[in-house]
Amino acid sequence: MRSVQTLAAVGASLVSMAAGQTSTSCNPTEKTCPSDAGLTASSYTVDFREGASSDWSMTYQNATYDATNGAAFTITASGDAPTMQSDFYVFFGEVTVRMKTSAGTGIVSTAILESDDLDEVDWEFLGGTATNVQTNYFGKGNTTTYDREQDAAIADSQSDFHNYTLIWTEASCTWLVDGVSVRVLNYADALDGQNYPQTPMRVKLGIWAGGDSTEPEGTIEWAGGETDYSQGPFTAYIQSVSIVNYNPAESYTYGDLTGSYESIEINGASNSSASSASSASTTTATTGSAASASKTGAIFVSGTASAAGSSPTGYTGTTGSNSTVTGSTSSSSSTSSIVTAGAASWGPSAVLASGALGALTLVSMLL
Ligand SMILES: *[C@@H]1O[C@H](CO)[C@@H](O)[C@H](O)[C@H]1NC(C)=O
Ligand SMILES: *[C@@H]1O[C@H](CO)[C@@H](O)[C@H](O)[C@H]1NC(C)=O
Ligand SMILES: *[C@@H]1O[C@H](CO)[C@@H](O)[C@H](O)[C@H]1NC(C)=O
Ligand SMILES: *[C@@H]1O[C@H](CO)[C@@H](O)[C@H](O)[C@H]1NC(C)=O
Ligand SMILES: *[C@@H]1O[C@H](CO)[C@@H](O)[C@H](O)[C@H]1NC(C)=O
């Protein structure tokens, strides 16, 4: 445990160093921080098959783009870990990442939400196991226990694109694969809400090698073994990301140091009916301006997602199915049985999930 926590601490400090002047370097539970740029549209889609988007920034290395697969995140050698994040934040809502994950022992494809005070909701795919996804969450960067991760059996994530959706409200967070709920986390179940992710988040997408020989033993083990780069290149593809922001706004401000959703001030709440029908990925040049939005182009899986919430105060999203305890749910396209993670997958994954950016930064620092 100690070494795991040390790794987390190291990761966190490297994040701060690397993040520099960006708002992620400021933890709003510790001091007053700059406001976060909000997604002003209630409904937004970026289609990376059209190329790079000015609404997103690479945080490490580059992605490439093509008209079939969208954004490609490729590892060819030790140290590679291309990663991007949205320039804007979302405050409760629905986020669907249409993704094809990478094969490769030790390779980790990720799609996560993360806030400035290190609330986090994760999808993580290990390249050695195409039919499993790890779901995880963190509240305020709390990594003192490692019981939050759950695995779900899924259809092959490496041979085809699938939709990985989070429906995130102040009451619960639901993970869905192609519209089928694989996990629900209720607010009260996360340490009476204290560990519940509840602050404005940005979307982070990327790939890294947990199996790199420079990683700690526990990390390599968690990642499924040491990565053999001669088997590469290893690529994860993101075709598109579709978002419903339940609280579209120019910006969000932490009103105090609690990290509570009730403390978040929503500034310049915008008018969702002003959303245009454009789904182009390059319609906005500046963070926080009216983002390319497509109400009609949205997204989600019938039956699980409500219409976009337009009221800044009304979180109108539905929360999907609320039964995590059923052994399995299945649909014609995927088998989605819920398997509680075993003891073997405790620490490292939790730490790495929590420190996803930290781990990437660590890699970059070692170069
Ligand atoms: C990313 O790509 C751009 C344009 O292709 C290039 O100018 C830049 O140097 C690349 N950055 C990195 C970190 O590879
Ligand atoms: C962190 O989480 C643990 C386990 O749920 C809990 O016991 C502890 O009180 C939490 N710490 C904080 C500061 O919330
Ligand atoms: C949205 O904006 C339009 C045009 O500016 C305005 O007519 C309408 O009343 C606004 N709706 C809301 C809910 O603010
Ligand atoms: C996945 O998302 C795409 C793009 O939004 C949509 O066209 C498709 O119907 C979705 N598929 C499933 C199975 O939910
Ligand atoms: C979960 O299900 C229980 C029992 O059906 C219900 O009382 C509760 O409101 C649900 N919670 C959410 C967040 O949907």
- What spacing in Å lies between the alpha carbon of 62 and ligand 1's midpoint? 6
pLDDT tens-place string over residues 94-142: 999 999 999 999 999 999 999 999 999 999 999 999 999 999 999 999 9
Q: Is a pLDDT exceeding 90 seen at residue 355?
A: no
Determine contact, residues 284/86, Cβ cutoff 8 Å: no
Which ligand is closest to the CA of 174, given by its number?
5
Mean pLDDT of the chain: 75
Beta carbons within 8 Å of 202's beta carbon, 6+ residues apart:
36, 85, 86, 87, 88, 89, 90, 113, 114, 115
CATH code, 4-246+350-366: 2.60.120.200
Tokens representing 330 are 């299945």
Task: Ligand 4, residue 301: give the atom nearest the CA.
Answer: 14
Q: Which atom of ligand 2 is nearest to the CA of 145?
A: 4
- Among residues of the chain, what percentage have pLDDT more than 90? 65
Closest ligand 4 atom to residue 161 Cα is 1
Q: How confident is the model at residue 268 (pLDDT cuts 50, 70, 90)?
A: very high
CA 84 to centroid of ligand 3, rounded, Å: 33
Instruction: Tell the residue nearest (CA) to atom 7 of ligand 5.
Output: 322
* Most informative mutation of 183, 304, 306, 322 for ligand 5 (most atoms within 8 A of CB): 322
Residue 89 has what DSSP assignment?
B
Burial degree of 364 (CB within 10 A; 0-12, 13-18, 19+): middle
Domain boundaries along the sequence of the chain: 4-246+350-366
Q: Which of 120, 149, 215, 221 is catalytic?
A: 120
Nearest residue by C-alpha to atom 11 in ligand 3: 271
Task: Output the CA 334–ligand 3 centroid distance in Å.
Answer: 42
In whole angstroms, what is the distance from residue 150 CA to residue 136 CA?
6
- For atom 10 of ligand 2, the residue with the nearest CA is 142
Mutational test site, ligand 2, from 140, 145, 148, max ligand atoms within 8 Å of CB: 145
Cα(101)–Cα(107) distance, rounded to whole angstroms? 10
- pLDDT, tens only, 51-109: 999 999 999 999 999 999 999 999 999 999 999 999 999 999 999 999 999 999 999 99
Ligand 3, atom 5: closest residue by C-alpha: 274
The pLDDT, as a whole number, for residue 17 is: 26
Ligand 5 binding residues, C-beta < 6 A: 171-172, 186, 319, 322
CB 281 within 8 A of CB 51: yes
Contacts 24+ apart (CB under 8 A), 324-329: 324/150, 324/183, 324/184, 324/185, 328/153, 329/180, 329/181, 329/182
* Closest to 275 (Cα-Cα) out of 286, 283, 264, 267: 283
**What single letter denotes the amino acid at residue 134?**
Q
**Using CA atoms, how far apart are residues 241 and 49, in angstroms rounded to an integer?**
11
Q: Percent of the chain scored above 70 by pLDDT?
A: 67
Q: What are the CA-CA distances from residue 341 to residues 135, 296, 347, 349, 359 (Å)?
A: 10, 38, 11, 11, 22
Helix, strand, coil: what percent of the chain each, to 5? 20, 35, 50
Q: Is 68 exposed, middle or buried (0-12, 13-18, 19+ CB in 10 A)?
A: exposed
**Ligand 3 center from residue 52 Cα (angstroms):** 31
Identify the weakest region by mean pLDDT among 81-90, 168-177, 192-201, 279-288: 279-288
- Does the annotation count 149 as an active-site position? no
Residue-wise pLDDT for 182-235, tens only, equals 999 999 999 999 999 999 999 999 999 999 999 999 999 999 999 999 999 999
| 215 tagged catalytic | no
Q: Which residues contact 346 (CB under 8 A, 6 or more apart)?
A: 146, 147, 149
pLDDT in tens, 223-266: 999 999 999 999 999 999 999 999 999 999 999 999 999 999 99
